[in-house]
Structure 1
Amino acid sequence: MQSLRYEISAVLEGLFADAALGNCINEISKAASSLETPTLKRKRHQNLEDSAVETGQLAMPLGGRSGAPTNKSWNIAEQKSRRAEAEQKNRAVGKYSFERIRI
């Protein structure tokens, strides 16, 4: 009975060690993937740009726009008064946001 108890104890210790090793390997792989430097990413993207198609074959993507985007929200005739701007700002900012910012 005692030898069976020792065997089970050894098996459980092995399982715990295996789980700990698996967790350690997962953490190392996550850390290694996050340590990739931005220069390497830039080089990878530059390789794609260097292998561009000839200029005659280039076309705009589907749904693309040819002109510059227009900002329709700004209109000189719709300028708000200071009171209206302050009211809009007060509604946009939370009640205690300034106290939170100071902390």
Structure 2
Amino acid sequence: MTYTFTIDERLGIRLPLLEHSWENYSKVTQELILAEWETIRGKIPDRIKELENEINDRQSQLYREEDFERSCELNSEISELASIINDLWIWYRADNRITKKSHF
């Protein structure tokens, strides 16, 4: 039974891609998956901090921006970065057991 961790370009982290249900993996394989996930999971707060810095940069640009269209673009970028942060927190807080196929 195979599994892999694939990069999610939007989130900037690798996510598990399980080809079978969690229960069909041996305990040894489950432990390997969880060990790799914990390594990745431990990097999520640093990724969030990077994105928060990008938001702060965009907000600073927005504060100085006089062009309406560019202001809208900056607001949209800030919104997308905040959405990514939200998704990263969901992954970070996810139960330590991966229980279904992940296709994100």
TM-score by length of 1: 0.27
- Higher-strand-fraction structure: 2
- Higher-helix-fraction structure: 1
- Rg (Cα) greater in structure: 1
Q: Which has the higher contact order (CA 8 A, sep 6+)?
A: 2
